[in-house]
Chains A and B, each alone.
Chain A
């Protein structure tokens, strides 16, 4: 094997431009695949971190009637904070949030919103709830940048909201925007108004009640609580994982096309090599190689394109990857606001060792198989005719 590697290397380097063209094309595959996967991994990591920091922390209990995709459930999805969680809530390790449907009237227009009540003193989320801890004539409220933009609201603006309490009575009041926050998590921002929990409980006539209770510790073993459904961290991020998985499948199509192009070049080179180098093949056999060993040599030679490509890709790809992972990539689109996807304005790709090793292994193995297929023809060659360069 060592000899085959040595000879394959000599033959490849000796072949000059043809080798380097193949190697460069294949190196593009390496870089693109690693870049694409790194970007998705970065998105995955960032999205999960943002969701954890802004919305789900270590996990949640949902009122068993609560369905975030069905606003009709909001009327009934509230209950008193269960005794099992009261201690954690008091210590600040769990944060109750009460959710109600409402309407906002910015500049005389009507917009459907979710009014969310949260404890201004909480420190579980990075949401700047402390800005709700103020004494003003109207109800203090914080909103996200997307909500502010779509409703043309700024800090210090007063705006009317309307809601229906638990008895079915409509009421309205002025809110004062005391803070605007920037987040990549659309479910915290888009059409959401955050006000103090106790105020919302009073508005809805639901003292001490909540819709969702988020806790800090994801590892604590938690018992079932009647009327509350436990949502683990893993289940809460499963949607984003599914979405990234779907994106990955789309990317695999591009990877496959790119790999096919590169492999076509390798296959073509191998076929051409075997066609043009019959005398050389005969010479190897005359000098003491078996036909099987010549097949092995040509296969290694083809597969070595991938090894050289990995090295070339490392030369120009590594600086690009390192730079990208530091400065990030900005797509210039507010995905969170416009598409409702948890995705940062600037994405920081994550290039792990396992990603690089796996990609290298897959590309090398694919190249080896593609190199082997045409090389099998050598096994059927007549060495005496090969020596004379006679086409077979």
Chain B
């Protein structure tokens, strides 16, 4: 990877049609994120953090500029190539968990591995490892509606981490959780970042999340307002 960066954006813009005009969600973002970072895009609603996260996650395409993720230019990827990038290299954690309601915890975590054609035995081991990371090995047969919000988000983390992706993108992962659950979730992610060297990029405006970030990228009106790197490692808050 060029200069050890996992994400690189140059003059990245994104505009959406709005009425007869256009709305610029991103107005020229220049950003580099290195391997193993635990960083967050911070800003109020409408600042462009989710839009940036979606482009980095190859769920959306830039209107201008460039977004290079894991050496692949997002704007130039075909739908199939973008899907492959997400399937093989990226993990997603969403605000509302986005678990498959009719599948069990095991099946939800297993899902990314099914797409990657792992064998039954490999899948079983990897799923159980991932559930062990988040402390849910005793809930494998339960379905999401039977779990608490914190447990659901831990399942979502296990699902994002099970294939050991290079980059995990988390969009407001604690927004639906209480303080205790938020801290537990964040500690889990900090630990996984430390143990597996996975890069985490959050989109958040939650102070609890911000407190755990080692790099804080503040967005305002589609531009980077401030980019802070903290050297101290935060743990066991």
Contact = CB atoms under 8 A, between A and B. Distances in A.
Q: Do A and B come from one complex?
A: yes
Interface of A: 3, 6-7, 10-11, 13-15, 279-280, 282-283, 285-293, 383-384, 387, 389
B179 interface: no
A290 B114 contact: no
B86 A287 contact: yes
B181 interface: no
Contacts of A288: 83-84, 86-88, 112, 115
Interface in B89-133: 92, 94, 96, 98-103, 107, 111-112, 114-115
A53 B114 CA distance: 62
Contact of A287 (B50, B60, B111, B143): B111
B102 A286 contact: no
Measured as residues with beta carbon below 8 angstroms from the partner, the interface class of chain B is 20 to 34
Given A384-B54, A387-B59, A14 B80 contact: no
Interface string B14-43: 000000000000000000000000000000
Given A287-B111, A290-B79, A280 B100 contact: yes
A287 B57 CA distance: 10
Nearest to B171: A387
A286 B57 contact: yes
Interface of B: 50, 54, 57, 59-60, 79-80, 83-84, 86-88, 92, 94, 96, 98-103, 107, 111-112, 114-115, 143, 159
Nearest to B92: A286
Contact of A387 (B94, B101, B107): B94
A294 to B, nearest CB: 10
Contacts of A282: 98
Contacts of A10: 102-103, 107
A389 B111 CA distance: 20
B215 to A, nearest CB: 23
B98 A286 contact: yes
Which 5 pairs show the lowest CB-CB distances between chains A and B?
A: A14-B102, A288-B87, A283-B98, A290-B83, A286-B92
Contact of A384 (B59, B98, B115, B143): B59
Given A288-B112, A288-B115, 18 more contacts: A3-B114, A10-B102, A14-B101, A14-B143, A280-B98, A280-B101, A282-B98, A283-B98, A286-B57, A286-B94, A286-B98, A287-B86, A288-B86, A289-B83, A289-B115, A290-B79, A384-B50, A384-B60
Nearest to A293: B83
Contacts of A290: 79-80, 83
A285 B59 contact: yes
Given A286-B59, A288-B88, A387 B98 contact: yes
A13 B83 CA distance: 27
A11 B87 CA distance: 20
Contacts of A283: 94, 98-100
* Most chain B CB inside 10 Å of its own CB: which residue of A11, A280, A285, A387: A387
Contacts of B50: 384
B184 to A, nearest CB: 23
